Structure 1
Amino acid sequence: MKRFQLMNPQVILPDKQLTEYIQHFLVYETKNKQASTHISVFPDGHPGIIFFKGDNGIYQTPPVQQPTCFYISGQNMHPTFIKIPGRFIWIAAKLRPYALKNMFAITSKEIGPYCMSIEQDFPAVLAKLNDAKNSKAIIRILQQFIKECTNTNGHKIHEIVKKCTQLIIKKHGTISMKELREAFNLSERTLQRYFLAEMGIPPKRFARIIHFHYAFQTLTTEDQKRIADIAYEKGFADPAHFSRTIKRFTGQSPTGFLLKRRSL
């Protein structure tokens, strides 16, 4: 009989020389052949490079564009739900918001709402990942791969976009676009153009994702708090605005999400 488990990840920091490109690694792993593991991935403002290896495959909603175990995810606006039967290891290198263009010469717009397989583009890297014996070895290979990508593409990180994303994250997504433009002396059109060219999404949408993630962390870690208290504490106009935001990015109201979480 399969034993259902809702899994939380192990968080691993990258080597210091790669912190400009990598936020952290998320590691999900089980050696239990009878397990049925569910992983929920919600928007957080960071694209990713993902590697999966398991006994029985992976079931993902929404699906990747083709069956794959080595792929890129972009700036998604919707949750991803993953079900994995049996033993597996699933590792995501969560990248800085602006890193995709530098590494692969693409943005989240090219990836779209799905994920993009890179198995055929990097077969030698995939072979090394499949031969790796444990998560430490996989992370070491992924870091070397990321380092090589940043050195070969030739596209430099856009410093203004980098600083804008850093300020948005520092302000937890609550900064207005007017304040952001004034901070860097940019016109509305120029700010929009920079973000679309480098990240594939408008700055306001990125700020919404960051604001959601900031509030969502409190909802999941301090779930005894009143929803109204969280809403005002995290800078939402009212509880209704907070509820709409949570539902937009998770597919459920805050109450519905917590009830489901507590029942697992």
Structure 2
Amino acid sequence: MSFNLAYPSEQLKPYIKQYWAIENVLKSGESYLQRIVPSGLPEMILYLDHKPKSEKRPIEAHCLLNGQHNDYYDLIISENLSIFSVLFQPQGVREFFNLPFNELTNQSVPLAFINQTLSRELESRLSEGISFTDRVNIAEDILSGLLTVHSKDYDFKRMSHSLELIKKAKGMVDIDFLSQQACLSRKQFERLFSEHIGISPKQYLRIIRFQSALHNNSQSNHWSMTQLALESGYYDQSHFINDFKALTGLTPKKFFADCDSVSDFFG
């Protein structure tokens, strides 16, 4: 299996976190299961070869826009896999697609349903890219053009500031404080946050605390589960375990033993 990672240009850095790609060749009859957990980051993904299968979230097209999700699902991979992905900043994706992003919550939507012309161009041009670098340059070219069309939203800076506060606090921040910093009432802030980020502030803070626990564990895996829970902002181990079960389907101990525990958000 080969894995590649690249970062966006300065122009697109406020909107895109990174690009990544995987090339995975399986032996005949071989298969494996990949558990997908909430990361707090929306994604546009292109399957250049075979598509995986999922009972919980059907993969209906080769080019998908993945909204925020607040639970887990499994991908069943039984054929060769070639993926190119654009991982957006939480507040960035709406600058390319002019729609309320909470309409995509817990969904993997064919990009053609949102923008058929863009979907065709991405599939055609990225499929022709010879290398990962070629595909990154193609994606940058297409998305830069799209940004100039849709990026007229004056609330972008407001949401960017809110997300920076959430990231610095690792999810341990009060919603009333966030709404005050945004110069909005709590109700106005919750509505705006949901439209731009895709889920409610309360749900999002829960995901970021979970992502903080993944990051803390990868940095200090000698900690006990109790210490990890406290360092990651959980009031007690019971709260820590309940959140992990809701977001991963597994206890923390089982998840860290069986799954990739690197944080996408803090990585």
TM-score by length of 1: 0.85
The 3 A distance-change label for structure 1 pair 10 and 63 is same
Deviations 1:204-239 (A, max 9, x none): 222221111111233355444211010011111011
Report the 3-state secondary structure (helix = DSSP H, G, I; strand = E; otherwise coil) of the residue aligned with 1:16.
coil
CA contact (8 A) 1:10 1:26 kept: yes
- Is 1:45 aligned to 2:13, yes or no? no
Report the 3-state secondary structure (helix = DSSP H, G, I; strand = E; otherwise coil) of the residue aligned with 2:8.
coil
The 3 A distance-change label for structure 1 pair 235 and 154 is closer
Q: Distance in 1 between matches of 2:232 and 2:12?
A: 31
Partner of 1:125: 122
2:69 to 64, 76, 92: 76
Deviations 1:106-126 (A, max 9, x none): 233211322110146121221
CA contact (8 A) 1:21 1:99 kept: yes
Q: Distance in 2 between matches of 1:57 and 1:110?
A: 24
Count residues in correspondence.
Answer: 254
Letter in 1 for 2:232: K
User: Which is further off, 155-164 or 238-247?
Assistant: 155-164
Mark the runs of 5 or more structure 1 residues left unpaired by the alignment.
1-6
The Cα of 1:81 is off from its aligned counterpart by 2.3
Structure 1 residues 241-256: aligned runs within 5 Å = 241-256=239-254
Q: Distance in 1 between matches of 2:19 and 2:103?
A: 23
Letter in 2 for 1:213: Q
Mark the runs of 5 or more structure 2 residues left unpaired by the alignment.
261-267
Structure 1 residues 1-264: aligned runs within 5 Å = 10-34=4-28, 36-54=31-49, 56-64=50-58, 67-119=60-112, 121=116, 122-156=119-153, 158=155, 159-220=157-218, 222-261=220-259
Deviations 1:168-209 (A, max 9, x none): 112111111122233344321221122133233222222221
CA contact (8 A) 2:34 2:76 kept: yes
Taking only aligned residues, the RMSD between alpha carbons, in angstroms, comes to: 2.5
CA contact (8 A) 2:166 2:172 kept: yes
CA contact (8 A) 1:42 1:79 kept: yes
Q: Distance in 1 between matches of 2:32 and 2:142?
A: 28
Q: Distance in 2 between matches of 1:211 and 1:8?
A: 30
Q: Distance in 1 between matches of 2:6 and 2:216?
A: 21
The Cα of 1:157 is off from its aligned counterpart by 5.3
Q: Distance in 1 between matches of 2:41 and 2:83?
A: 17
Letter in 2 for 1:116: V
Q: Distance in 1 between matches of 2:13 and 2:251?
A: 35
Consecutive aligned runs of 4 or more in structure 1 exceeding 6 Å deviation: none
Q: Distance in 1 between matches of 2:3 and 2:39?
A: 15
Deviations 1:7-63 (A, max 9, x none): 795432112221011011232222455563543332121111101122x43213532
Report the 3-state secondary structure (helix = DSSP H, G, I; strand = E; otherwise coil) of the residue aligned with 1:19.
coil
Partner of 2:264: none
User: Which is further off, 147-156 or 13-22?
Assistant: 147-156
Q: Distance in 1 between matches of 2:61 and 2:219?
A: 32
The 3 A distance-change label for structure 1 pair 90 and 103 is same
Deviations 1:122-180 (A, max 9, x none): 21221112222232222222222221221122542522122111111121111111222
CA contact (8 A) 1:27 1:89 kept: yes
Q: Distance in 2 between matches of 1:83 and 1:150?
A: 34
